[in-house]
């Protein structure tokens, strides 16, 4: 393959051990919501509440991965993936969020893991991807400290069942969304709109991570890696005006520092406490909590889609909150009503998110500085497009190929500049239930016909599979 050709980007090579994966989550793909002892999660309740999701759509069937997992794993192997990140449904394993595990629920994940290993695919298990058992929400949910204790018990049950075969473990996926979209703006389950509860939820999710990591270590082989996946925002000020810089710092604290402060540095940012003093007194942070949260990580997962652009409020700058996190009269940013969010310029995906691979590069280099020596994984990155089959049934998505090429180039540049990035997980393996957007936003590399549930790899899936097999990010023709 030539290094470059006129009008194209040059080829680059990734390290031989680099993991090439795809990611999903339980509620978005499994279906079978009433089988083998599973009980409702907060997303079952939320999606069945009128007005909460587009068209009233739910994950009741999703893409029926619960029954089709063998075919899905075979498809991953055919595409050339070397890793697969999935999540466990808490209420499938522990229906009330308390007590012993339901073995029928665990057996599904045992079968899935065995199938992955038989195909030479490395499983990466996420314990919590937003689907809290409804009974725990009825008892107060993440704003209550007891939920963190329950999570540790759940983590231990799953660790005991699968720790001998799964080496990569992720405690929580995007706790920012769980706390601030679930309890602040209300656009995610459970749909509450209380800024003080959102901040309490953030702390108890942090505590759940620390307690869960300790529970896993108590029952698993020392070789296993424990990580967390953060959707850390790349927050940029609209200008270098001191007021805009201060606005960016405040949002950075709420998006990033609230989690990586205690996890990586052993303290919440004092500026976070100052900015939210009118919302909460943080008295729920008890002695020893931060020490628990600060337990050493084996790796850090980073999810990236688009940067965030903010400014201080002024009389000239007005309009809706353009933070990319859904429409709501309630903000997911406690104590920040005087911060304005702006859409960054450039091409956009179907989500309205600007395509900017420089943000991924900046994110990887930031955490190389924040946590030197800590291995990094891109645990989610991808784009939604209005994909449709052509008359021959093929699905061509050149926009997604261009998106992936740009972001993988950013990963390779970060590697060159010193970031210890060990793997990349495309979001998502296949089209699925996209939370409050229902089935209207297609992120998958594999097209799913929602009537027949037939899977058809898009051209991006074949392209990505070739990169996974060769480790070479080949030249692509520039467009435009």
Sign of the torsion formed by the C-alpha atoms of 464, 235, 181 and 149: positive
Of the candidates 144, 380, 399, 434, the residue annotated as catalytic is: 380
Strands (E), 234-354: 235-237, 300-303, 308-312, 339-342
Residues near 153 by beta carbon (within 8 Å), at least 6 away in sequence: 94, 98, 215
Please compute, for residue 354, the number of CA atoms within 13 A of its CA located in the half-sphere on the CB side. Answer: 16
Q: 78 catalytic, yes or no?
A: no
Q: How do 455-457 and 446-448 pair as beta strands?
A: antiparallel
Chain-centroid distance of CA 20 in Å reads: 16
Residues near 185 by beta carbon (within 8 Å), at least 6 away in sequence: 193, 325, 326, 328, 330, 331, 332
Q: 466 catalytic, yes or no?
A: no
Distance CA 126, CA 106 (A): 14
Comparing CA positions, the residue from 11, 68, 24 lying closest to residue 445 is 24
The alpha helices in 388-458, defined as continuous H runs, are 398-416
Of the candidates 174, 347, 370, 454, the residue annotated as catalytic is: 174
Contact 229, 301 (CB under 8 A): yes
| 83 membership: H or E segment, kind and range | strand 83-87
The three-class DSSP label of residue 230 is strand
* b/e 79-92 (16+ beta carbons within 10 angstroms → b): bbbbbbbbbbbbbb
Comparing CA positions, the residue from 410, 420, 407 lying closest to residue 297 is 420
Integer CA distances (angstroms), 118 to 121, 159, 458, in order:
8, 20, 25
Residues near 404 by beta carbon (within 8 Å), at least 6 away in sequence: 381, 382, 383, 426, 460, 463, 464
CA angle centred on 276, ends 273 and 280, rounded to 5°: 95
Phi/psi for 349 (5° steps) reads -85, 180
The long-range contacts involving 282-285, CB below 8 angstroms and separated by at least 24 positions, are 282/199, 282/203, 284/145, 284/200, 284/203, 284/204, 285/203
Gyration radius from the chain CA atoms:
21
Active-site residues: which are they? 174, 380
């Amino acid at each position: 393959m030539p290094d470059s050709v006129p009008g194209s980007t040059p080829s680059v090579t990734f390290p031989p051990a680099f993991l090439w994966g795809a990611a999903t989550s339980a509620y978005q793909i499994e279906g079978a919501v009433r089988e083998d002892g599973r009980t409702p999660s907060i997303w079952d309740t939320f999606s069945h509440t009128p007005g909460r999701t587009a068209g009233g759509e739910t994950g009741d069937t999703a893409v029926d991965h619960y029954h089709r997992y063998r075919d899905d794993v075979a498809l991953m192997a055919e595409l050339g993936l070397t890793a697969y990140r999935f999540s466990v449904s808490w209420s499938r394993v522990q229906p009330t969020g308390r007590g012993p595990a339901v073995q029928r629920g665990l057996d599904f994940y045992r079968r899935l893991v065995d199938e992955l290993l038989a195909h030479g695919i490395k499983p990466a298990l996420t314990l919590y991807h937003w689907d809290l058992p409804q009974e725990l929400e009825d008892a107060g949910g993440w704003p209550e400290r007891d939920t963190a204790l329950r999570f540790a018990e759940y983590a231990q049950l799953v660790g005991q069942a699968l720790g001998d075969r799964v080496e990569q473990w992720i405690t929580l996926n995007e706790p920012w969304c769980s706390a601030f979209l679930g309890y602040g703006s209300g656009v995610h389950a459970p749909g509450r709109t209380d800024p003080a509860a959102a901040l309490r939820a953030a702390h108890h999710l942090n505590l759940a991570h620390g307690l869960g990591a300790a529970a896993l270590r108590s029952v698993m082989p020392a070789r296993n890696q424990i990580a967390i996946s953060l959707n850390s925002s790349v927050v940029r000020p609209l200008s270098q005006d001191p007021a805009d810089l201060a606005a960016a710092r405040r949002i950075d604290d709420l998006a990033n520092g609230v989690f990586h402060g205690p996890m990586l540095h052993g303290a919440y940012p004092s500026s976070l406490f100052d900015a939210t003093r009118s919302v909460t007194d943080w008295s729920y942070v008890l002695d020893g909590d931060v020490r628990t949260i600060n337990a050493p990580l084996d790796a850090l997962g980073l999810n990236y889609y688009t940067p965030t652009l903010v400014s201080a409020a002024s009389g000239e700058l007005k309009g809706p909150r353009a933070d990319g996190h859904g429409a709501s009269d309630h903000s997911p940013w406690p104590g920040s009503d005087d911060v304005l969010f702006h859409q960054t310029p450039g091409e956009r995906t179907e989500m309205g998110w600007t395509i900017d691979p420089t943000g991924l590069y900046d994110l990887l280099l930031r955490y190389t500085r924040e946590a030197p020596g800590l291995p990094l994984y891109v645990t989610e990155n991808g784009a939604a497009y209005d994909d449709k089959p052509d008359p021959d049934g093929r699905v061509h998505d050149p926009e997604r190929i261009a998106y992936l090429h740009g972001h993988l180039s950013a990963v390779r540049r970060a590697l060159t500049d010193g970031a210890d990035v060990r793997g990349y997980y495309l979001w998502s393996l296949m089209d699925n239930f996209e939370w409050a957007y229902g089935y209207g936003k297609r992120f998958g590399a594999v097209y799913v016909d929602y009537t027949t549930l037939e899977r058809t790899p898009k051209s991006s899936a074949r392209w990505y599979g070739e990169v996974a097999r060769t480790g070479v990010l080949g030249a692509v023709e520039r467009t435009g």
